[in-house]
């Protein structure tokens, strides 16, 4: 345990999109510069960009600070990967988790050549493999079990998420009185 623990709380109530990702990384950078050596990331997100979610996960895992995550609502889609960045992972009792297949959106009247379609399909497969690898690593499951859960569009309540290995403990207390708190809220 860190002897002189300096804790900051960051509430991430946003979709995982470029703006929220940039805001989160800027807040984390600022808090680390200020000497905080433990980040408690409170998360409620509908998910969003796989690229941005995996980037946040890798960034948080690469920091030389302790990171804990806490679901205070819904951690859906790529939000599950962001949530996995916590060494300790908590959830309030009235929350949920959703993991599902990676998808790609196309604009109307967009056309593709065969090689471009293959490129898009390969990109989807790589994204799904990356996110399933992260969840497998953090839950001590094998990738095939995670891929199956993804394909089944698995929704978990906190007790089920504990059995799944995603959550370590159900804990309704989020922030102690007087704690340093920064919010990232976007709709």
Q: Which domain holds residue 69?
A: 7-100+153-185
Q: Residue 90: which CATH number?
A: 3.90.226.10
Across 12-31, average pLDDT: 98
pTM for this predicted structure: 0.91
**For the chain, what is the domain count?**
1
Answer yes or no: is 128 within a domain. no
Across the chain, mean pLDDT equals 94
CA distance 39 to 151: 32
Between the CA of residue 166 and those of 42, 91, 127, 142, 157, what are the distances in Å?
Answer: 15, 10, 20, 13, 11
CA-CA distance, 139 to 174, in Å (whole number)?
A: 22
pLDDT of residue 2: 47
| Residue 142 falls inside a structural domain | no
Please give the angle made by the CA atoms of 128, 130 and 135, to the nearest 5 degrees. Answer: 95
Buried b (16+ CB within 10 A) or exposed e, 26-56: ebbeebeeeebbbbbbbbbbbbbbbebbbbb
pLDDT confidence of residue 27 = 98
- The C-alpha angle 182, 56, 96, rounded to 5 degrees, equals 75
Percent of the chain residues topping a pLDDT of 90: 83
Tell me the sheet residues that pair with 156: 97
Give the residue-averaged pLDDT of 129-157. Answer: 96
């Amino acid at each position: 345990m860190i002897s002189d623990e300096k804790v900051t709380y960051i509430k991430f109530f946003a979709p995982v999109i470029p703006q929220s990702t940039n805001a989160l990384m800027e807040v984390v950078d600022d808090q680390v510069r200020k000497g905080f050596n433990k980040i408690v990331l409170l998360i409620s997100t509908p998910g969003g960009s796989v690229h941005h979610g995996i980037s946040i996960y890798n960034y948080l895992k690469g920091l030389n600070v302790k990171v804990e995550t806490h679901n205070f609502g819904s951690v859906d889609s790529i939000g599950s990967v962001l949530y996995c960045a916590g060494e300790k992972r908590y959830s309030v009792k009235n929350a949920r988790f959703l993991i599902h297949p990676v998808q790609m959106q196309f604009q109307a009247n967009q056309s593709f050549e065969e090689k471009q379609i293959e490129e898009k399909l390969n990109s989807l497969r790589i994204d799904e493999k990356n996110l399933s690898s992260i969840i497998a690593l953090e839950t001590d499951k094998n990738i095939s079990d995670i891929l199956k859960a993804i394909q089944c569009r698995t929704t978990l309540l906190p007790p089920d998420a504990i059995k799944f290995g995603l959550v370590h403990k159900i804990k309704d207390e989020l922030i102690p009185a007087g704690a340093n708190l920064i919010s990232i809220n976007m709709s």
